[in-house]
Structure formats: structure tokens, C-alpha cells
């Protein structure tokens, strides 16, 4: 048991150090990316999304682990819940704002006849599923 706990502690320490390094990298990249070309901004944002997804999956697995769930104090669970909802609200507000702005931009470009015809044709041929953007499954809490 003592050896298992030691390995567990090492694993957690490794995760924390990795997360701290990733945080530093994103903090250092913030200004550079904001002043970059569109492709680098898109790629950097997708990298951030991928790390968000990875972190969320790890956090979800963490909370599903009976060993962890049994030993986390109530106060810490409430803090995780509150901070999670805070982050969720920020993300949803960004999504609503961004989706609405893009809808307006695309509509305006369409009515002005300024949509890129090649990309528009590809969009018609390769349509994302309903769950990709809107029309997805409902959620109840």
C-alpha cells in the first residue's frame, strides 16, 4: 500500500508540473498569438481547445475514481463545482457571442455576393452533423 501511494503521489506531482508548464507556455504565447496571422491564431486556439478537452477528461476521470471521490472533502468538491460552472458560463457566453457574430458576418457576405465560391461549394458538399454546431442533444441538470 505504501508503495502504491508513493507512485500515486509521483503521478500527481508529474501531472501538476506538466499543467504548470502548459500554463506558462500559453501565458507566454498569448500576445504573440494575438498578433499573428489567422492560421496561427486558429491553430493555437485549436491547441488550447485540445488541452481543455484533455484536462476536462482527466478531471472527469478523477471524479469517477472511487479512491479520489471517497477522500475529497465536501468543501473541495463544492469549489470544483463552482469553478467549473464559472468556466462553463464563460465558454458558453463566448460560444453564443462568436456563433451569433459569425452568423451575421456570413449572412452579410452572402447577401453582398462576397462569399468565397470555392469554400462555399466545399461547405455545401461537406456538411457537418447536427451535433457539431446546434441541433445537438438536449441537456437537463
The Cα–Cα gap between 114 and 110 comes to: 6
Verify that 3 and 16 share a domain, yes or no: yes
Verify that 9 and 67 share a domain, yes or no: yes
What are the pLDDT digits (tens) for 49-103? 999 999 999 999 999 999 999 999 999 999 999 999 999 999 999 999 999 999 9
Is residue 62 included in any domain, yes or no?
yes
pLDDT at 134 over 80: no
- Cβ atoms 6, 21 nearer than 8 A: no
Cβ neighbors of 125 (< 8 A, separation 6 or more) are: none
Q: Can you tell me the mean pLDDT for 11-20?
A: 97
Verify that 83 and 54 share a domain, yes or no: no
Q: Which three cell numbers stand for residue 5?
A: 501511494
What are the pLDDT digits (tens) for 95-109? 999 999 999 999 999
Q: Which three cell numbers stand for residue 82?
A: 463552482
Verify that 56 and 12 share a domain, yes or no: yes
Verify that 40 and 28 share a domain, yes or no: yes
- Cβ neighbours of 15 (radius 10 Å): 13
**Structural domain range at position 107:** 73-127
Number of structural domains found in the chain: 2
Q: What is the pTM of this model?
A: 0.78
Verify that 28 and 41 share a domain, yes or no: yes
Amino acid at each position: 500500500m505504501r508503495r502504491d501511494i508513493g507512485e500515486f503521489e509521483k503521478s500527481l506531482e508529474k501531472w501538476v508540473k506538466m499543467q504548470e508548464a502548459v500554463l506558462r507556455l500559453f501565458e507566454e504565447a498569448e500576445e504573440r498569438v494575438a498578433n499573428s496571422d489567422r492560421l496561427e491564431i486558429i491553430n493555437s486556439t485549436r491547441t488550447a481547445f485540445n488541452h481543455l478537452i484533455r484536462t476536462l477528461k482527466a478531471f472527469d476521470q478523477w471524479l469517477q475514481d472511487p479512491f479520489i471521490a471517497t477522500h475529497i472533502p465536501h468543501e473541495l468538491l463544492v469549489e470544483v463545482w463552482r469553478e467549473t460552472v464559472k468556466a462553463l458560463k464563460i465558454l458558453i457566453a463566448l460560444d453564443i457571442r462568436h456563433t451569433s457574430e459569425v452568423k451575421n458576418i456570413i449572412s452579410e457576405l452572402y447577401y453582398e455576393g462576397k462569399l468565397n465560391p470555392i469554400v462555399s461549394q466545399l461547405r455545401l458538399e461537406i456538411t457537418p452533423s447536427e451535433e457539431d454546431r446546434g441541433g445537438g442533444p438536449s441537456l437537463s441538470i
